[in-house]
Amino acid sequence: MTALMFKAMIVFGLLVGSAGGTAVLAHDSLPGSPMYPIKQTMEQARLSLISDPVSQSYQHFALARKRTGEMRRLALKGKQPDEPLMAQIQYHLNQGLTLAAQVPEDELPGLLEPVRLMLHAETAAMEQFQHQLGPPDQAPFQKANGMLHQVGKAVDEGLAEPQAFRAFFANGGEIALCEGEDCPPFGEK
């Protein structure tokens, strides 16, 4: 009986250890790698455990930032970021804004101010990185920067006019995938 329990403990330890190793490998994976779907599943599981809109909103903005970081890492490896990655950035930014619109008005500045600072830093990082690339490789970064600029304008609007911000995003308003001058002004659908 002791030998059987010992074997069961070893098998259990190996299973738990391999799952932990998989999670560690998946954490640093990039789009296109076999571990990337595991990374996304773990992120979705973490999101599903968050119940309050402030924390959910922060998490979506953090995931958008993580995706833009993946864009840079892909480019450093000589790979072009693809449309599904751009769509994920757009999704997380829009979810972050939609959830922010659900936050009580007195809590909105406490949520949006750190987001504004994060967007400023991320936009600067993307612009700096974009200048290191040749013109053909810049297009996805221009699109991502267009989205970040639009979200920045929306956040500024949320800080200045919280009711307009809440009304826009609570009624299905979204940030579109666009490039620089092609981006519609905030508040237009």
CA-to-CA distance for 164 and 187, rounded, in angstroms?
Answer: 9
Let me know: does 45 contact 29? Beta carbons within 8 Å: no
pTM score over 0.85: no
CA-to-CA distance for 56 and 92, rounded, in angstroms?
Answer: 10
What pLDDT, on the 0 to 100 scale, is given for residue 96?
96
Q: pLDDT tens across 96-152, in order? A: 999 999 999 899 999 999 999 999 999 999 999 888 888 778 888 888 888 999 999
Query: How sure is the predictor about 188, in pLDDT bands with cuts at 50, 70 and 90?
Result: low
Assess whether pLDDT exceeds 90 at residue 64: yes
CA-to-CA distance for 153 and 70, rounded, in angstroms?
Answer: 24
| CA atoms in the 13 A half-sphere facing the CB of 67 | 27
